[in-house]
Chain A
Amino acid sequence: MKPPAFDYAAPGSLDEALALLAAKRDGAKLLAGGQSFVPALNFRLARPELIIDLNRVPGLAGIRRDGDGGLLIGAMTRARAIERSEVVARSNPLLHSAIPWIAHVPIRNRGTIGGSLAHADPAAELPAIALACDAILVATGILGKRDIAARDFFLGVFTTALRAGEILTEIRFPAWPPNRRHGFAEFARRHGDFAIVGVAATIDVAADGAVGDARIVVFGAGDTPRRAREAEAALAGSHPDTGALQRAAALAANHVDPPSDHHASAEYRRELAGTLTRRVLEQALAPRARAA
């Protein structure tokens, strides 16, 4: 339960971090909040030659609004800072409501948004939120920056579209339309554990109550978070009643192809995907949420 030996560098600039990463390639790992990576080291599941600690790189943390009402969050921003941000609460209520589900306060005091996204745990909250919100993930390399859409970012368990030598530096959340409602739910045996299954949803509701764009993302039920597109399509354009929400939930359950493991069977996870989808749709469409 002690980490293996490694070389350690704490670069004081992004350029220095990129140069170190370029020089070492596969032998180097980036350290952000360390709340998943350090356990992996302690278990000796990871044995990097060099750890490049991003905690002393200036300019990677912070929350601000862009000119279009969207949200720019630096990759090294701690989950706790996002949780306590008034700006986030106002400009992305789904992100705001999901953060308290991540582990516990001492973990959120260290864990970062960029670290969680780059780690790409299939049961983690932030990848699902990024996907539901069409977030753009900004990857910086020696040759410059490129934007990666959340839908193209998560390739598999702990696998992302980041290339060797790239650092995830910023996450952009598009503006939140005033008619957008949201829901979030997950189930775990103890609060703060990784979700057995979770669901995040946004629903844009027109003045006459008709559903416009609907997003339903199921996580913990496959290699990556996934949109339940058939369920979304079934809701779009409708004035959903209880029966319609149940049908959408059934479509979401059918859509997932969950694993069986020591936490839960595939069948149990599929059932949860349906139940949680119905609950988050009810949350999103509840009259109280509508008034908010």
Chain B
Amino acid sequence: MSARHRIVLTVNGQRVERDVEARMTLADFLRESLDLTGTHLGCEHGACGACTVQLDGNSVRSCLIFAVQADGARVTTVEGLAVKGTLSVLQRSFQQHHALQCGFCTPGMLTTAQAMLAENPDPSAEEVRRAISGNLCRCTGYLPVVAAILDAAAQLRSEAA
């Protein structure tokens, strides 16, 4: 029952090779096998969004995917968002807009928002709200989060122009 499976994947640009039990979720793999504890686990059934990471560029719930399923994939966690140790535009915008209080939901907010901006660089406030509708914040920080994402989008657009 506890056969282990060899997986090879890329996490935040680094090649990783490990043996995992099939039942280990990607979230537990990131946190326990790789010590990437920035990925937070809230509900463990896909409702809270705290564990959101990017799998091959798409935002996904890492509590609802087994690590063995990520064999061969490219995973980006919140630890992979900073560029050479410098906060990304989106992260800096969260800091400037005070878009977090306790910070528990922040990794999921950031990974979700970054994937959204890659698809839609010029979102409306409504589109931003919809994009983060699956990320629960219990400090009631949604307004600054929306402001931070919109501001980051504007900065990224002017950088690209």
Contacts and interface: CB of A to CB of B under 8 A. Distances in A.
A80 B44 CA distance: 22
Interface in B12-58: 21-23, 25, 28, 44-46, 49, 52, 55, 58
A34 B23 contact: no
B68 A42 contact: no
A110 B133 contact: no
B158 interface: no
Contacts, number: 93
Given A5-B23, A8-B68, A191-B133, A110 B2 contact: no
* Interface SS, A side: loop
Contacts of B133: 104, 190-192
B5 interface: yes
A39 B64 contact: yes
Contact of A42 (B44, B55, B69): B44
A279 B4 CA distance: 53
Interface residues of A, number: 31
B161 interface: no
Nearest to A3: B23
A34 B64 contact: yes
A53 interface: yes
Contact of A38 (B1, B21, B65, B134): B65
A188 to B, nearest CB: 11
Nearest to A39: B45
A268 interface: no
Nearest to B20: A8
B83 interface: no
B134 A2 contact: no
B112 A105 contact: yes
Contacts of B23: 2-6, 41
Contacts of B66: 8, 34, 38
Interface of A: 1-8, 10, 34-35, 38-39, 41-43, 51, 53, 55, 80, 100, 103-107, 109-110, 190-192
10 contacts: A7-B22, A8-B66, A34-B64, A34-B66, A35-B46, A38-B63, A105-B134, A106-B49, A107-B46, A192-B134
